[in-house]
Structure 1
Amino acid sequence: MTLEKALLLFICYGIPIFFFIYMATDVLLRNRKKTEHILLSVICICYLLLFSEEYIRNQLSVEYSPMLSAVWLSSVGLLIPGIGFHFLIKFTHLDKSMPRWLYPYVFYLPAIFVIINLVTGARLISAQEFVQSGMWNLPVYNSGYYIAMSASIGNNILYIIPLFIALKKSALPEQKAIYKQLIFGVTVAILWHVIFGYINYGDMLPPYPYLYSGMVWCYFLRHTMKKYDFLNLYDKRYEKLFNMNPDSIMLMDFKGMIKNANPKAEQLLAMLQITQSQFISLLDDHLKEKISNKQVIHEYETEISYQEKRIAILVNADYVWVDNEQHILFILRDISVQKQYQEEIIFLAYHDPLTRLPNRRFFYEKLDEAILRAKQNKSRIALMLIDLDRIKLLNDNFGHLAGDEALQATAAIIKDAVQHKGTAARMGGDEFILFIENFTGNKEIELLTKHMHDQFVSSQAKYGLSSLGMSIGISFFPEDAIDGQALINIADNNMYDRKKARRA
């Protein structure tokens, strides 16, 4: 062999062989456990074997070419389409829609034809006639050659079908870009086969110049896999953020099964003592309808409860494709504490913080409403103004904590007396006020005031201050007045008269 021939063989076949060794190794080392990486490495190895066969065949006498072509080149060439289809179906996740008895066995049926190929001498699918022209052992472009070439091109065209299906199903721009790139790669490979497979260039080019489309195809596959791996790494980059997020994050399918949950979400499920499939049933009907209609949910406030557990949550939700299946991505924020703060602020706007009774503002509003009802129904209202006697002695002798306890005890007594018949409030200091709507007569009110006074005295008996008590002034609607403030003024005068009488 001349130096010129050796150099030309190295350029034509040695460089592609090293290229495919690098490709197979690089892809496999990226992820040795993932099926797609293994299949792509096998495809590269198959092309490596094709170029190795050609490297050896063109160094031997032309008489060995039919045997090498039939046993080696054709056998490997038959396996590539099945492996390629397996890769594309797995890569596009279309395998999930295939029957288990069919996948992946259907892709390796060509192995049967390999056996037939070896037994029959591959007379129908490989060139059997070769001629030596210059330094090359060239195949004769006969019917067997063109049948094999047409089958190869037809196979490449079929590659586009699963890619188009995956492209239509894909919702992510990144996925669409990947599938479009693969379709472009297949198209380039098809054009290469047509230009360099059907046309006989003689000894101007090495034999089977269409084989170099494998370099183009594998380059596109590797480039796509790098993007695919990048997307996976991109996901992993945010895995810690997912796990560390203080909000509950859940990935759920449309059957209501939670596929993934971060630690905070797992705590939420554990607190509610529910399974992953029960969560969707706890959402309100309006939220379920939004999810059913695949509407994006933003800052939706709701409550979820199970048994005796109840929490307020703020819901954000959108929809993502995972393994070619649409899922719901929930971000749930527990706002129970914030809600309690908000409710407390609203409560304190109308209530006294110490006794938890309504304040003066709230009472006036309720009294006006009660007077309006009484006018419409021609009914009566009893208003009572209460002042605690000698409460300063309690503060001076036993501290302000004892005074606060006395005010709280008074509030409890008044609330119990009013119940659902009216409204009670703290006017300020040691003054309280209440009104009763549904009562039978003045006697009932007198008994009620005596009962409240006796209960208060009993609750404070532990301090041994006999002067502690209640001074209660009463006014009636409509006998005494028909205006709220006038009723209060009359009750106030009545109350001070009684206070003076107690001191006398």
Structure 2
Amino acid sequence: MRKREGNQMKIIFVPFVAYIIPMVIMFYMALMMLLRNPKQTEHRLASLVIFFYGLLFLEEYIRFFLPIEYSPIISKYWFSSIGILIPSLFMHFFIKLTSLNEKMPKPLYPYIFYTPILLVVFTLLTGKNIMSNETFIQLGIWKYPDFNASYLTTLTVSIIISFLLLLIVFYLRARAINENQKNILSVIAVAMIIIIFIVTIFGYVNFKHVVPPFSYIYSGLIWGIALPYAMIKYNLLAPYSKRYEILYNLNPAPIVLVDEHGKIKEANPATNILLQDEAVVGRCLHDLFTDFHKEQWLQHFKQHFRNKKKFTKYETKIKLPSNEQRYVLLEGDYLLVDEQPHNIIIIRDIHTEKLVTKQVKFLAYHDPLTNLANRRYFYEVAEKTIKKNIPCAFLLIDLDGFKPINDQYGHQLGDDYLVHFAELLERHVAGRGLAARTGGDEFVLCTTEGEITDFVQGLLHTFESNPFTIGSTIIPIKVSIGISRYPFDGSKVETLMKKADEAMYRIKHKGKNGYQIFMN
């Protein structure tokens, strides 16, 4: 009685340990692999490979309890079909993982890997057994297959394909572009060597009474160990969350996650660098803005939260702990984190770009030496003034004796002389018009000052009382000024400038260093 109970316990316990536990492990690993990134082809393929290994254990568990006459049928339609699918799926997985599919002709990929499925279809349609065992024998509690030509042929082809894949792994490992890729391929290579060894030993040698039938299916557990190890150790098949974390940390643009009150919940390393603060998390984002820009930002931020929409290209200024102010461009989007509303904001430092743009724009309208307006800018302003019908005067100013100064003291001193003159001119004109440099020693001025005579005499006095001085050398400033007036002398800038030029030459003929108002 006790012996019978012991046999019954053995019949229940042994297949549970031999098949159910490995099956559960394989199914768990398959699910874990799939959930890492269900949209990624590599994850789906790896999950299917492991899942089908689990199905082999399930098939053996069912076959264990069925009468022996059912073993050939289950082996033919279930075991053999899955045995064909596993290498096909693994080849597809491996080629995709190593990006070799990019070198394959599109009409072949991935269909070429699944051509062995034609054998499965043939078996299903005809019922002929060309892949598996046809006879089984009962030895103790196990039902062992009697190896036949079909079984040995299928097994041999499977081992040859695995060996060829192993050679490809070694080839790719030798050409790996980084240490991490080399380590991943090393793990795969070791796993494949162990699997080929197990399949070869337990596939060709019939260990009756010693191990369960088809013991080589336990090689699937090797993948159950190798893939998790590679995933944890070397980031194999990293999920999107992990890839996001890597991109988040390596992104050169500062990225912050803030709650609805503006409190910074997360920040990547680039944020710490830009904001010159290692303890950014916990601070209020709004405190980064200059007083001038803060109110406008708060309105924008609150509106963004209410609308739950993203925003782009929000240009503003922030202040740093060093009191430096920098131009930044913000882009943000609304999202829920733990069911709470948040903003993820990318901060792009455009300070240098902004300064360069300003400088380019400035140089497009200004003289690079004196920083006065250039001819283009002067004419634009003058035309706008005339269009508004504002009475104004045009002064054409020519420096007297500038060429001898250049010849005697050199061009560098000549440039310094021009800069000094431009500063005096701009200081006198400030708020009353626009001064510009139109040539080497030629300047123009448009002023809305009503008393033009007083204005010009004051300008001449400014030049006379502020000569150019360098060391003990004093160089007086003498000018010839021609003046035309709108609307008395014309209604177009070109006409007024021409008449101012005529007036200037009159004063030059009179002895220079003075001014002349155009007279018909």
TM interval, short-chain normalised: 0.5 to 0.7
Q: 1:108 aligns with which of 114, 118, 136?
A: 114
Structure 1 residue 335 corresponds to structure 2 residue 358 = no
Structure 1 residue runs of 5 or longer lacking an equivalent are: 248-265, 271-330, 345-349, 357-365, 375-380, 389-400, 425-450, 474-483, 496-501
Structure 1 residue 245 corresponds to structure 2 residue 268 = no
Shift in Å at residue 370 of structure 1? 3.3
Shift in Å at residue 206 of structure 1? 0.6
Q: 2:428 aligns with which of 401, 405, 409?
A: 405
Tell me which moved more, 127-136 or 115-124.
115-124
Kept after mapping to 1: 8 A contact 2:425/2:435: no
Shift in Å at residue 180 of structure 1? 2.2
Q: 1:233 aligns with which of 223, 241, 248?
A: 241
Name the SS for the 2:65 alignment partner.
coil
Shift in Å at residue 100 of structure 1? 2.6
Partners of 1:225 and 1:494 in 2: how far apart? Answer: 82
Partners of 1:120 and 1:183 in 2: how far apart? Answer: 38
Residue in 2 that maps onto 1:182 = 188
Q: Which amino acid aligns with 1:44?
A: I
Shift in Å at residue 341 of structure 1? 9.9
Shift in Å at residue 208 of structure 1? 1.2
Structure 1 residue 370 corresponds to structure 2 residue 370 = no
Q: Which amino acid aligns with 2:244?
A: K
Name the SS for the 1:138 alignment partner.
strand
Q: Which amino acid aligns with 2:215?
A: P
Residue in 2 that maps onto 1:378 = none
Name the SS for the 2:35 alignment partner.
helix
Partners of 2:139 and 2:30 in 1: how far apart? Answer: 33
Provide TM-score, normalisation by structure 1.
Answer: 0.54
Structure 1 residue 8 corresponds to structure 2 residue 10 = no
Shift in Å at residue 368 of structure 1? 8.9
Q: Identity percentage over the alignment?
A: 28
Where do residues 304-383 of structure 1 align in structure 2 (5 Å cutoff)? 335-337=352-354, 370-371=407-408
Shift in Å at residue 119 of structure 1? 5.2
Tell me which moved more, 73-82 or 85-94.
85-94
Shift in Å at residue 234 of structure 1? 3.5
Residue in 2 that maps onto 1:95 = 101
Where do residues 47-196 of structure 1 align in structure 2 (5 Å cutoff)? 47-118=53-124, 123-164=129-170, 166-167=172-173, 170-196=176-202
Where do residues 292-303 of structure 1 align in structure 2 (5 Å cutoff)? none
Residue in 2 that maps onto 1:293 = none
Distance 1:464 1:105, change over 3 A: closer
Shift in Å at residue 162 of structure 1? 4.9
Name the SS for the 2:56 alignment partner.
helix
Q: Which amino acid aligns with 2:407?
A: A
Partners of 2:458 and 2:143 in 1: how far apart? Answer: 127
Partners of 1:468 and 1:196 in 2: how far apart? Answer: 107
Partners of 2:446 and 2:200 in 1: how far apart? Answer: 105
Q: Which amino acid aligns with 2:428?
A: E
Partners of 1:93 and 1:369 in 2: how far apart? Answer: 70
Q: Which amino acid aligns with 1:405?
A: H
Residue in 2 that maps onto 1:31 = 37
Partners of 2:350 and 2:63 in 1: how far apart? Answer: 69
Distance 1:334 1:199, change over 3 A: farther
Kept after mapping to 1: 8 A contact 2:372/2:435: no
Kept after mapping to 2: 8 A contact 1:57/1:64: yes
Kept after mapping to 1: 8 A contact 2:50/2:223: no
Structure 2 residue runs of 5 or longer lacking an equivalent are: 1-6, 256-269, 271-311, 316-347, 363-367, 375-402, 480-513, 515-520
Name the SS for the 1:125 alignment partner.
coil
Shift in Å at residue 117 of structure 1? 3.0
Partners of 1:403 and 1:40 in 2: how far apart? Answer: 76
Partners of 2:237 and 2:51 in 1: how far apart? Answer: 21
Deviation string 1:279-301 (CA, Å, 9 cap, x unpaired) is xxxxxxxxxxxxxxxxxxxxxxx
Deviation string 1:342-362 (CA, Å, 9 cap, x unpaired) is 999xxxxx9788999xxxxxx
Where do residues 425-440 of structure 1 align in structure 2 (5 Å cutoff)? none
Kept after mapping to 2: 8 A contact 1:354/1:408: no
- Which of 1 and 2 has higher RCO (CA within 8 Å, sep 6+)? 1
Partners of 2:121 and 2:60 in 1: how far apart? Answer: 21
Where do residues 483-494 of structure 1 align in structure 2 (5 Å cutoff)? none
Partners of 1:369 and 1:119 in 2: how far apart? Answer: 103
Shift in Å at residue 410 of structure 1? 12
Residue in 2 that maps onto 1:295 = none
Structure 1 residue 206 corresponds to structure 2 residue 212 = yes
Deviation string 1:23-54 (CA, Å, 9 cap, x unpaired) is 22222222222222222222223222211221
Deviation string 1:216-254 (CA, Å, 9 cap, x unpaired) is 12432344355334474333015456495389xxxxxxx
Partners of 2:477 and 2:50 in 1: how far apart? Answer: 103
Kept after mapping to 2: 8 A contact 1:124/1:144: yes
Distance 1:43 1:234, change over 3 A: closer
RMSD of the alignment, in Å? 5.1
Number of corresponding residues: 341
Partners of 2:101 and 2:459 in 1: how far apart? Answer: 86
Provide TM-score, normalisation by structure 2.
Answer: 0.52
Deviation string 1:302-332 (CA, Å, 9 cap, x unpaired) is xxxxxxxxxxxxxxxxxxxxxxxxxxxxx99
Residue in 2 that maps onto 1:219 = 225
Residue in 2 that maps onto 1:461 = 452
Name the SS for the 2:131 alignment partner.
coil
Kept after mapping to 2: 8 A contact 1:88/1:163: no
Distance 1:184 1:122, change over 3 A: farther
Kept after mapping to 2: 8 A contact 1:21/1:44: yes
Tell me which moved more, 39-48 or 159-168.
159-168
Name the SS for the 2:244 alignment partner.
helix
Partners of 1:174 and 1:231 in 2: how far apart? Answer: 17
Shift in Å at residue 267 of structure 1? 5.8
Partners of 2:237 and 2:106 in 1: how far apart? Answer: 27
Name the SS for the 1:202 alignment partner.
coil
Name the SS for the 1:469 alignment partner.
helix
Partners of 1:134 and 1:493 in 2: how far apart? Answer: 121
